[in-house]
Amino acid sequence: MQSPSLKATVEGLLFVSDGPTSLDRLAELLPEYDRAAIRISLQELRDGYEERGSGFTLVEVAGGWQLRSRPELTPYLSRMFKGRPVRFTQSALETLAIVAYRQPVTRQEIEYLRGVDTGAVLKSLLEKRLIKILGKKEIPGRPLIYGTTREFLEVFNLKDIKGLPTLREIQSLDEIPVYEVQEELPLVI
């Protein structure tokens, strides 16, 4: 029996992985292959899925590589799942945004910015593994400090925290688009 190609081996590892797999982890699992060759295999796999118009794609997310279904297939793929998609409350999204942009951040800092108690929301985000406790701040009372997790990056499809939109990008969403004025067309009866 012929041994599988590196590309097929990498694809198989990514397929059975329960989350994004880093290049370091792949190199650790495949010591018989050169790191550069593994990187090339990843790029070839990604390009191959794109060229074929495959039902899935290879994305770099949360510090690793992961096979994912194409976003445009969501309406069809969701038919397989009876449950509703994960939804976030407004308070959870606000709290998560503060943690993501201000990390490391304490509960008191979050509450100051939001103006309301965030204990229950933080607990919920911790249970969903979207945030984690990073440690304690070296100030009186030694409050816990929070930051985002790898799962946060996966859920929001981010390669790393730098992938978050900037304030300028967010503000541009509120701008009213300028449309070209088109002459009225004559009505043909």
Same domain assignment for residues 69 and 116: no
Q: Is the separation of the CB atoms in 69 and 55 below 8 Å?
A: yes
**What one-character-per-residue DSSP string does the chain give?**
-PPPPHHHHHHHHHHH-SS-B-HHHHHHH-TTS-HHHHHHHHHHHHHHHHHHT-SEEEEEETTEEEEEE-GGGHHHHGGG--SPPP---HHHHHHHHHHHHH-SEEHHHHHHHHSS--HHHHHHHHHTTSEEEEEE-SSTT--EEEEE-HHHHHHTT-SSGGGSPPHHHHHHTTSPPPPPP-PPPPPP-
Q: Structural domain tally of the chain?
A: 2
Per-residue pLDDT of the chain (189 residues; tens, 9 = 90+): 667 899 999 999 999 988 899 999 999 999 999 999 999 999 999 999 999 988 989 998 888 999 988 888 888 887 776 655 667 888 899 999 999 999 999 999 999 988 888 888 999 999 989 999 999 988 888 999 999 998 888 888 888 888 888 877 777 777 666 666 666 666 666
Same domain assignment for residues 125 and 157: yes
**Within-domain flag for 187:** no
Domain hosting 152: range is 90-164
**Within-domain flag for 81:** no
Give the domain CATH number at 45: 1.10.10.10
**Within-domain flag for 45:** yes
The reply to whether the predicted model has a pTM over 0.85 is no
What are phi and psi for residue 35, nearest 5 degrees? -55, -40
